[in-house]
Amino acid sequence: MIRILSSYQVGRLLARKAARLSEAEAVVRPILDDVRKRGDKALLEYARRFDSFDRRSVPVGERELRAAEARLAREFRHAVETAAANIRAYAIKQLPKEWMSQNGSGLRFGQIVRPLDTVAAYIPAGR
């Protein structure tokens, strides 16, 4: 769709999206801050207010999960299982792998994959 718009129109479209994002952030920020501060208690209050949530806690027990699964249509469950298997297989292919090699003159080189203890990221404009 962007290809058929002029650069001026694209600029206006993106500006509208940015304005809506700012409006949404202004509404959501106090909720996120409250949940960070008060944890599950705040989460349950907002879930009850916005989603008519009527449970005492967020976690769902194994028996309830199995009962819900039994109510799903077989075709739907199969589609979800197939999608999950495809996503998992694709993600596994993307994992970095360790490797070592040696060239003709005996120089060894390779890649070692290690988890990091700490990571920091700078995200321009918070996006």
Query: Which H or E element spans position 40?
Result: helix 40-51
For residue 126, is pLDDT > 70?
no
Q: Which amino acid is at 6?
A: S
Question: Which pLDDT does position 42 carry in this prediction?
Answer: 92
For residue 6, is pLDDT > 80?
no
- pTM listed for this prediction: 0.44
> Does the domain formed by 2-107 have CATH 3.40.50.1980?
yes
Say which DSSP state 22 is in. Answer: H
Question: Which pLDDT does position 3 carry in this prediction?
Answer: 64
Kindly report the average pLDDT of the chain as a whole number: 87
Residues with Cβ within 8 Å of 56's Cβ and at least 6 positions away in sequence, in order, are 44
Percent of the chain surpassing pLDDT 70: 90
Tell me the per-residue pLDDT of 61-70, one tens digit each, with 9 for 90 and over. Answer: 999 999 999 9
Q: Where are the domains of the chain?
A: 2-107
